[in-house]
Amino acid sequence: MPDSVPPMFDYRGVEARCKVQLVTAGVEEAAERIASRYLGSDAGPAYAATTADDLLLRLEPDALRVWDFADEYA
Tell whether 67 is covered by a domain.
yes
- Using pLDDT thresholds of 50, 70 and 90, give the confidence band for residue 45: very high
SS3 27: helix
Tell whether 17 is covered by a domain.
yes
Q: What angle do CA 40, 45, 51 make, to 5 degrees?
A: 120
Tell whether 33 is covered by a domain.
yes
Tell whether 4 is covered by a domain.
no
Tell whether 2 is covered by a domain.
no
Tell whether 5 is covered by a domain.
no
Tell whether 37 is covered by a domain.
yes
What pLDDT score does 54 carry?
87
Number of domains in the chain: 1
What pLDDT score does 25 carry?
94
Q: What is the pLDDT of residues 24-37, one digit of tens each?
A: 999 999 999 999 99
Tell whether 50 is covered by a domain.
yes
Owning domain of residue 58: 13-73
